[in-house]
Amino acid sequence: MFSVFSSRRAGTSLLATTPNRWDWALLPIVLGVMAALAFAAMQMSRPFVIGEPTPISLDPWQLPYYLLRTILRMFTALACALVFSFVFATLAAKYRAAEKVLIPLLDVLQSVPILGFQAIAIAPFIALFPGNLLGVECAAIFAIFTSQAWNMAFSLYQSMKTIPPELGEAARVFRLSGWQRFWRLELPYATPGLLWNMMMSMSGGWFFLVAAEAVSVANQDIKLPGIGAYIAVAIAGEDGRAILWAIVAMLAGIVLYDQLFFRPLLAWADKFRFEESQSDTAQKSWLLDWGRRSAFMRAATDRFWAQMRKTLGWFGTREPQVRAPALRRVGGWPWGRIWDVLLVLAGLAAAWAFFAYVRGAVGGREALHVLGLGFITLARVLVLIALASLVWVPVSVWIGLRPAWSQKVQALAQFLAAFPVNLMFPLVVYVLVTWRLNPNIWLSPLMVFGTQWYILFNVVAGASTLPTELRLAAENLGLKGWLKWKRVYLPAVFPSFVTGAITASGGSWNASIVSEYVTWGQTSLVADGLGSYIKQMTDKGDFHRIALGIAVMCIFVMLLNRFFWRKLYLLAEDRSKLG
């Protein structure tokens, strides 16, 4: 009956739909967004010659144009990161052999600084589009992608690995195929957490925007029109007024895409909350309400979903076919053992190649020096993540359980997470120089300034999906105070916290490059650490020592994740299965 009704609705021509007042209210918004994106896309493909100056004006009237170009790059990168997350998380969650490779690979990727990715990608992209600015645009988008993709992929992977057993049993009862299980169970279950991580990814893109839009290649500085390049020019010129205008433009852009994109998605995704009773924690969006009241939008969405059912069969109501008994899994013994041996041999070969490179290119003394700098940065990361967790876990749970407050702080949290640490350089330099403070201590908080929000966003997402019946049961049992936190709240958000802490830890290592080496005009403040070492070697153009610093950072992140964060993650996974 439902399928017949949907087909009839879908068969109605959209042109025959009579618009109502909500259609006329949405029309200027839709046309305005489409026109702005089309204009920005046209500006991305223009003639370009390496060595030709790319002037960036500090005139505030240019900021709307720069903001438009930046937002288009960030949403293009976000779309690529979403596709990457689907593929990566599915392979890692469903195939044990792939998981053994992909999860350590993710540790490496999130620890590689954006400067490292940019150095690798800029030349191939320019060669791919010779004489066209599109090559540099693709390099910038790729750099932004590397600051967005890893936490989204890990969030989806974590959700797929911690699906409640009763939902998995229901999927087996209905004989869902792997394709159907992903679209009808795994992705819907992961959607709330994934959306919050998408918001965090957008903020992460802002955090490293200066490095993405101010590109250096062949001893030439290329600055793409955008907020990041505007900030870079303002910092070089010590223009505090331009910095303030950039902050205003960032806030306007974040509020704009929060209201037009993320807020409607969060309200729509509330349907995927895992609970049986009606929730009083629903998100609200004025734009989604308008769309639901719009006759044209309702007809268009009905037609879209009907076509998806017909063409791809994602949500069809056909009777499932009983699959033939599965053959013996390739991952079993001895193939699983052989695969493990191959991975160990590959790891030993990589280690031998690394030691040979260090001995031949930079020497053992330099390697030991960099290793010591790595331990200094490690101490900073662990201390700062612990302090951030003590502050933000209780705050995040409180926000996630109160949707009204969640919506109020949503845009503010995005703005704080997006706030590039570079914009704090004038204040930091002034305070440290005036009061003669030690950079090794007082530059450290900058590392966690932009990454602590991974904990906030993930724990808020976990608390917002806490089933209403579980909260009511805790109240009926009279649980209060620390006992309620210990028995209900902390176990419920623990998987989300581990995901946020892992990504925050990896992001802090990356952020050390801009946090341990602070410049404002001609003044520089340097803290001992691995990040400042990589930044100084990058400025000198010493490729061998850049590679050494990045390799040591990857080793530290991998070992930390393998022997500390991974243990916590397995504990969270076991608890979810027991629940």
- Enter the pTM of the model: 0.78
* Strand, helix or coil for residue 451: coil
What per-residue confidence (pLDDT) applies to 393?
93
What totals of helices (H) and strands (E) does the chain contain, helices first? Answer: 29, 4
* DSSP code for 280: S
Which residue shows structure tokens 């021509």? Answer: 13
Contact in structure between 429 and 518 (CB atoms under 8 Å): yes
What per-residue confidence (pLDDT) applies to 235?
83
Contact in structure between 569 and 155 (CB atoms under 8 Å): no
What per-residue confidence (pLDDT) applies to 313?
53
Q: Is residue 158 part of a domain?
A: yes
Contact in structure between 537 and 545 (CB atoms under 8 Å): yes
Count CB neighbours of 170 within 10 A.
Answer: 12
Rounded distance between C-alpha atoms, residue 92 and residue 569, angstroms: 14
Contact in structure between 99 and 339 (CB atoms under 8 Å): no
Residue 544 has pLDDT above 50, yes or no: yes
Mean pLDDT for 30-50 is: 88
| 3-state SS record for 84-111 | HHHHHHHHHHHCHHHHHHHHHHHHHHHH
What per-residue confidence (pLDDT) applies to 216?
63
pLDDT digits (tens, 9 = 90+) for 377-414: 999 999 999 999 999 999 999 988 887 777 677 667 77
Q: Binning pLDDT at 50, 70 and 90, where does residue 332 land?
A: very low
Share of the chain above pLDDT 90, in %: 19
State whether the Cα torsion 404-407-409-413 is positive or negative: positive
> Which of 119-128, 170-179, 199-208, 548-557 holds the top average pLDDT?
548-557
Find all residues with CB under 8 Å of 506, minimum gap 6, and list them: 107, 110, 111, 150, 557, 561
Which of the two residues, 472 and 94, has the higher pLDDT score?
Answer: 94
Measured in Å, how far apart are the chain's first and last C-alpha atoms?
A: 37
Rounded distance between C-alpha atoms, residue 515 and residue 452, angstroms: 14
Residue 13 has pLDDT above 70, yes or no: no
Residue 514 has pLDDT above 50, yes or no: yes
How high is the mean pLDDT of the chain? Answer: 81
Contact in structure between 552 and 108 (CB atoms under 8 Å): no
Q: Binning pLDDT at 50, 70 and 90, where does residue 88 land?
A: very high
What per-residue confidence (pLDDT) applies to 223?
87
pLDDT digits (tens, 9 = 90+) for 471-509: 788 888 888 888 888 888 888 888 889 888 888 888 888
User: Helices 187-207 and 149-161: crossing angle, nearest 10°?
Assistant: 160
What per-residue confidence (pLDDT) applies to 365?
87
Determine the distance from the C-alpha atom of residue 173 to the mean position of all C-alpha atoms in its chain, rounded to a whole number.
Answer: 34
Count CB neighbours of 537 within 10 A.
Answer: 19
Show the tokens assigned to 482: 């620390």
Q: Is residue 326 part of a domain?
A: no
Q: 334 preceded by cis ω (within 30°)?
A: yes
Residue 326 has pLDDT above 50, yes or no: no
What per-residue confidence (pLDDT) applies to 217?
55
Rounded distance between C-alpha atoms, residue 446 and residue 384, angstroms: 10
Which residue shows structure tokens 């009083």? Answer: 280
Residue 428 has pLDDT above 90, yes or no: no
pLDDT digits (tens, 9 = 90+) for 150-162: 889 988 998 888 8
Rounded distance between C-alpha atoms, residue 197 and residue 191, angstroms: 10
Which of the two residues, 186 and 343, has the higher pLDDT score?
Answer: 186
Owning domain of residue 434: 21-273+281-293+357-578
Which of the two residues, 221 and 224, has the higher pLDDT score?
Answer: 224
Residue 310 has pLDDT above 90, yes or no: no
Rounded distance between C-alpha atoms, residue 29 and residue 433, angstroms: 48
Q: 19 preceded by cis ω (within 30°)?
A: no
What per-residue confidence (pLDDT) applies to 380?
93
Q: Is residue 348 part of a domain?
A: no
**CA-to-CA dists, residue 225 to 182, 209, 250, angstroms:** 39, 12, 14
Q: What is the CATH number of the domain that holds 476?
A: 1.10.3720.10
Looking at the structure of the chain, the number of domains it has is 1
Count CB neighbours of 352 within 10 A.
Answer: 10
Task: Enumerate the β-bridge partners of residue 47.
Answer: 132
Element (H, E) at 518: strand 517-520
Residue 309 has pLDDT above 80, yes or no: no
Mean pLDDT for 36-58 is: 85
Q: How do strand 214-217 and strand 220-223 relate by DSSP bridges?
A: antiparallel
What per-residue confidence (pLDDT) applies to 3?
36
Which of the two residues, 537 and 217, has the higher pLDDT score?
Answer: 537
Q: Is residue 336 part of a domain?
A: no
Mean pLDDT for 251-274 is: 86
> Which amino acid appears at position 140 of this protein?
A
Lowest mean pLDDT among 26-30, 192-196, 425-429, 435-439: 425-429
Q: Binning pLDDT at 50, 70 and 90, where does residue 219 land?
A: low
What per-residue confidence (pLDDT) applies to 564?
87
Task: Enumerate the β-bridge partners of residue 385.
Answer: none
Mean pLDDT for 236-258 is: 89
Contact in structure between 458 and 193 (CB atoms under 8 Å): yes
Task: Enumerate the β-bridge partners of residue 524.
Answer: 519
Which residue shows structure tokens 């027991």? Answer: 578
What per-residue confidence (pLDDT) applies to 312?
53
Rounded distance between C-alpha atoms, residue 426 and residue 154, angstroms: 35
Residue 374 has pLDDT above 80, yes or no: yes
What per-residue confidence (pLDDT) applies to 330?
43
What per-residue confidence (pLDDT) applies to 316?
45
Share of the chain above pLDDT 70, in %: 87
Cβ contacts of 545-552, under 8 Å, gap ≥ 24: 545/362, 545/366, 545/370, 546/115, 546/116, 546/119, 547/357, 547/361, 548/358, 548/361, 548/362, 548/366, 548/367, 548/370, 549/370, 550/112, 550/113, 550/116, 551/354, 552/367, 552/370, 552/371, 552/373, 552/374
What per-residue confidence (pLDDT) applies to 80?
95
Q: Is residue 338 part of a domain?
A: no
Which residue shows structure tokens 């879209």? Answer: 304
Q: Is residue 57 part of a domain?
A: yes
Contact in structure between 214 and 228 (CB atoms under 8 Å): yes
Find all residues with CB under 8 Å of 83, minimum gap 6, and list them: none
Lowest mean pLDDT among 32-41, 305-314, 348-357, 413-422: 305-314
* Strand, helix or coil for residue 385: helix
Q: Is residue 511 part of a domain?
A: yes
Determine the distance from the C-alpha atom of residue 445 to the mean position of all C-alpha atoms in its chain, rounded to a whole number.
Answer: 21
Rounded distance between C-alpha atoms, residue 412 and residue 126, angstroms: 37
Mean pLDDT for 335-360 is: 76
Q: Is residue 532 part of a domain?
A: yes
What per-residue confidence (pLDDT) applies to 282?
62
Q: Binning pLDDT at 50, 70 and 90, where does residue 178 land?
A: confident
Q: Binning pLDDT at 50, 70 and 90, where does residue 281 land?
A: low
Residue 9 has pLDDT above 50, yes or no: no
Contact in structure between 415 and 256 (CB atoms under 8 Å): no
What per-residue confidence (pLDDT) applies to 17?
67
